[in-house]
A and B are shown apart, each in its own frame.
Chain A
Amino acid sequence: MVYALIGVLIGVLIGFLLPFTYNSAYTLYVSVAILACMDSIFGGIRSNLEGKFDATIFISGFIGNAILAAFLAYIGDRLGVPLYYAAIFTFGNRLFDNFAKIRRILTSKRKDIKVKN
């Protein structure tokens, strides 16, 4: 949890320092991709806490989800249907799902410590 937060903070710092921009037409795709990435991070944290973290699954999910989400948004734009809603809904849902599980794991761990003491 903490390392992910630190990582995001470092990333934001780097992002602000780097003179890296892209065409503003792609902002929608990038924002959907960011949502997918955040979902993957949360999923990674959860699996790590559960002790079944697999780097291959994590990395492929991170990149694949981002690309798929951006692609969905793009296709939706071409077809005139806001398909990126699908990505927002799915990943948003899963984000909260993952977060709920992380919370449960963390609280149960604390209880265990208390019981041991």
Chain B
Amino acid sequence: MKDFNPKIVIAVFSILVGILLASQIKMNIQMVTPVTIESIKRLELEVKALRNDIDDLKSNIEEKERYLGLIENANYGDSNIIDVLEDEKEKNMMLAGYKSVEGPGIEIVMFDNINSDELSFDFNDGIIHDVDMQNILNDLRVAGAEAISINGERVLAFSDIKCAGPVIRVNGRSLGTPFIISAIGDPKLLMAAISAPGTYSDMLTRVYGIGIQPYMKDKLIIPAYSGDFTFVYAKTVQ
């Protein structure tokens, strides 16, 4: 073996290395990085999230298939499809707030500070403002309120609440004190959102002396939105 010309031997094996190199370059691989525990965890989380997504989509598919079956059944008779559409309309009207609803919830009676000399010289501190109302409504929504009304005026997504001197305007209608807010939802949760220490309404009663009296109710009736709302500028995206 010693008779081989070392240069030729080395050159031949260099060719081999070159071939390997070229084939490796051709593979066009990403950097090979060591797998850390953190990256494994991250991937696990991703996988979990994707699995959840898949489950959601599967249940969605099932629901749609059921709906499709319903429609296909309805196809055989006109009366059936009318029923389906009526059902759909009822559901949508309820979602939009055009239906009176009833259920368990709480009723809150709010009135201005009666002892006007108690707090300060500024009479503004003792009366209920639109901001107070909006904060309380928001607290209720956080606690899962499904339907809300103020003095029988339904509060919807596009409802405005505006201070107008001694009264508050809701949906363009003036309401005076005492305000009675009705909210349908889990009564305990709603109660906690209003009366727990540290909430906005708790602050109102303790600091500003505004009267807030919540009552749990087994059955509340919240009227439908009485106005007429139409979209003027907003259009569905095609």
Contact = CB atoms under 8 A, between A and B. Distances in A.
Q: Do the two shown chains form a genuine complex with each other? A: yes
Interface of A: 3-16, 18, 20-22, 24, 27-28, 30-31, 33-34, 37-38, 40-41, 44-45, 47-48, 53-56, 58-59, 62, 82
Nearest to A19: B26
A9 B21 CA distance: 10
A86 to B, nearest CB: 13
Given A4-B14, A7-B13, A54 B1 contact: yes
Interface in B1-32: 1-2, 4, 6-27, 29, 32
Interface centre among A6, A7, A62 (most CB of B within 10 A): A7
B32 A18 contact: no
A12 B22 contact: yes
A15 B20 contact: yes
Contact of B14 (A3, A20, A22): A3
B165 interface: no
A42 B168 CA distance: 89
Contacts of B25: 12, 15
B34 interface: yes
A10 B20 contact: no
Contact of B27 (A10, A21, A41, A45): A21
Q: What 4 A-B pairs have minimum CB-CB distances, sorted nearest first? A: A11-B18, A15-B22, A7-B14, A53-B6
A34 B118 CA distance: 88
B19 A48 contact: no
Interface centre among B7, B10, B16, B27 (most CB of A within 10 A): B10
Contacts of A8: 14-15, 17-18, 21
B11 A4 contact: yes
Contacts of A27: 24, 27, 29, 32
